[in-house]
Structure 1
Amino acid sequence: MDFLRPATWDEALAAKAGRPDAVPLSGGTDIMVEINFDHRRPDALLDLNRIADLREHTREGDGSGAPYIRVGAAVPYSTIVEHLHGPLPALALASHTVASPQIRNRGGVGGNLGTASPAGDAHPALLAADAVVEAESAERGVRLVPIDDFYTGVKRNCLAPDELIRAVRVPVADGPQQFSKVGTRNAMVIAVCAFSVALHPRSGRVRTGIGSAAPTPVRARAAEDFLAGVLAEERAWQRRGALPPSAVREFADLVSGAASPIDDVRGTGDYRRHALRVMARRTLAWVWDEYRDGHGDGYEDGEGAGACA
């Protein structure tokens, strides 16, 4: 096994172009497990740990567009929890559920995206937030991939063989966001299923993300359209009144119906559908209560509630 250790991003891109078979290594929380159990034996590893800017996060955007947080591919989950819970509440909540403190100090969103496992904790929150993946190659430069187009199959993504993930651009929340996960225990567990919902009052949209309940992370698009329609018809964005119970139930049913889960050692497909229905009701209640209390205002200044304690 060859071990490539570039010192700069340009060197990393050149190395990947020369060895498209090289597997990127940063946190190592996925690939090292596979190697240690002899489930995978790549011909080359591309170590990215010397590239400091992959561990940086910055607020970007200007007056012509909505602000976003550019999260480097190797920014640890612990950093997201500690420093980005205001502007990126759902991603911070999801990051807080990842494994153990040791793994949260090593793993990052770039690894989740690269592995593209449907059970990755970050995926539902990224889908709900309408994130954009920054991919780059030495030959073609930077390519911006909407998160909806990133996942192509079970543990497959749209990256070209010579591309690396440099960062993910996550819009600053303009409304409440939530994340919920079901597992067999509270820590060190792969999700049985996961769900995230985000309200976008500025555009009148609702976005969702479902994890570990389909071949890829998916959105519950019918549920989003239904709830957005109810909120517009009832003028609920302006009135901030209680949601009709029938609408909450229908939203939950549509979320459950968007999944296509299988039976496996962690749970049955029927259980996953039931759990998603429950999580959809609960998270919708949480975000709407937060919005009604006025926490839908001020998110762009990093004052969102999104607590991670």
Structure 2
Amino acid sequence: MDFLRPADWEEALAAKAEHPSAVPIAGGTDVMVEINFDHRRPEHLLDLSRIGELHEWDADGPDVRLGAAVPYARIIDHLHTELPGLALAAHTVGSPQIRNRGSVGGNLGAASPAGDSHPALLAAGAEVEAQSVRGTRLIPVEEFYTGVKRNALAPDELIRAVHIRKATGPQQFSKVGTRNAMVIAVCAFGIALHPESRTVRTGIGSAAPTPVRAGVAEEFLAAALAEAGCWDSGAPVPPSVAREFAELASGACNPIDDVRGSAAYRRRAVAVMARRTLGWVWEEYRGTQGRGTLCA
């Protein structure tokens, strides 16, 4: 196994072009586990840890441009206001040591359906900045996942950054695991309200071959809230609407049975998380709008 250690981004792109099968590594929290268990034995490792710009972010404007190697701990400490859903998800990642090394870029590159950042990225509305010696492109995050641990990157491309819309409304995240910490998600759910456009976005993890949005549930909820006047009044969500939203979210899943949980359990858990996170996020929204009477 050859170890490539570029000094800057241009050198990294050139190395990836020359060795398309090279596996990028920065924090190493996923790649090194696979190598240590002999699940992967790449010919080349491409170490990106010396490239400073990958560890930086820019929060000017409506989006946060998050460098691919910014660790979860810095998101929690410095970007919890701009990216509250992602910060909540980051809190659930591994141990403090893992949060100090692991990154959203690494999570995207691994493309595991159980990756903790994916539901929050889907709910917030993110784009992946992919670059090669041929140029740069932005990939909507819902188009980035192409299969179990597969993504839309070309062989010569690297993830340079992730562009994530700043929160314009409340966001929430929930995760089910076999214990409270240091656990891979049995399933996870993220939700974000976008009051300016009166839309809702969701993200579901570990309940389908790829992370997915519950599009039908999103459209139903946004329309139901508008029809009942809840966006304007800040009144509570009718229980019937919350129940239907939960069932539609569960219907977006396509889970499997595995050692962490059955397909039936995952569908049920997603429904419960959808209903609960809707309650949390709407309660926060009501606090900004004033508390109205129950929607019609």
TM-score interval, smaller chain = over 0.9
Task: Tell me how far apart the structure 2 counterparts of residues 26 and 3 of structure 1 sit (CA, whole Å).
Answer: 12
Inter-partner Cα distance in structure 1 for 2:49 and 2:2: 16
**Residue correspondence of structure 1 range 68-87 to structure 2 within 5 A:** 68-87=63-82
Note the residue ranges of structure 1 that are not aligned, 5 or more in a row. Answer: 62-66, 297-309
In the alignment, is residue 88 of structure 1 matched against residue 83 of structure 2?
yes
Match of 1:32 in 2: 32
- What is the DSSP-based 3-state SS (H/G/I as helix, E as strand, rest coil) of the residue aligned with 1:202? coil
Provide the residue aligned with 2:281 in structure 1.
287
| Displacement over 2 Å in runs of 4+ | none
Q: Distance in 1 between matches of 2:289 and 2:92?
A: 23
Query: Which deviations, in whole Å up to 9, do the C-alpha atoms of 1:25-52 show, x marking residues without a partner?
Result: 0110011001101111000000000001
Aligned residue type for 2:210: T
> Are residues 1:168 and 2:162 paired?
yes
With the length of structure 2 as denominator, give the TM-score of the two structures: 0.97
Distance 1:236 1:20 in 2: 51
Quote how far apart the aligned CAs of 1:60 are.
3.1
Which residue of 111, 116, 128 maps to 1:116? Answer: 111
> 185, 192, 201: which one pairs with 1:198?
192
Q: Quick check: 1:175–1:295 contact (8 Å CA) kept in 2?
A: no
- Residue 257 of structure 2 aligns with which residue? 263
> In structure 1, what residue type is equivalent to 2:65?
R
- For each residue in 1:128-169, what CA deviation from the matched residue of structure 2 results, as whole angstroms up to 9, or x when unmatched? 001011000012x11011111111111111000000000001
Contact 2:233/2:289 (8 A) holds in 1: no
User: For residue 218 of structure 1, what is the aligned residue in structure 2?
Assistant: 212
What SS class does the counterpart of residue 166 from structure 1 fall into? Answer: strand
Partner of 1:185: 179
1: CA distance, partners of 2:15 / 2:82: 35
**Offset, 1:295:** 7.4
CA RMSD, Structure 1 to Structure 2 (Å): 1.0
State how 1:90-109 maps to structure 2 within 5 Å: 90-109=85-104
Structure 2 counterpart SS, 1:252: helix
Q: 1:60 is paired with a residue of what secondary structure? A: coil
- Give the structure 2 partner of residue 306 of structure 1: none
Tell me the distance in 2 between the aligned counterparts of 1:47 and 1:173.
32
1:92 corresponds to which letter in structure 2? Answer: A
Pairwise CA distance, 1:186: 1.2
Return the TM-score normalized by structure 1: 0.93
Choose the corresponding residue for 1:126, options 107, 113, 121. 121
CA distance in 2, matches of 1:59, 1:89: 14
Secondary structure of the 2:131 match is: strand
Partners of 1:260 and 1:148 lie apart in 2 by 16
Q: Distance in 1 between matches of 2:170 and 2:8?
A: 38
Higher relative contact order (CA 8 A, sep 6+): 1
Give the drift of 1:200.
Answer: 0.3
Aligned residue for 2:159, secondary structure, equals strand
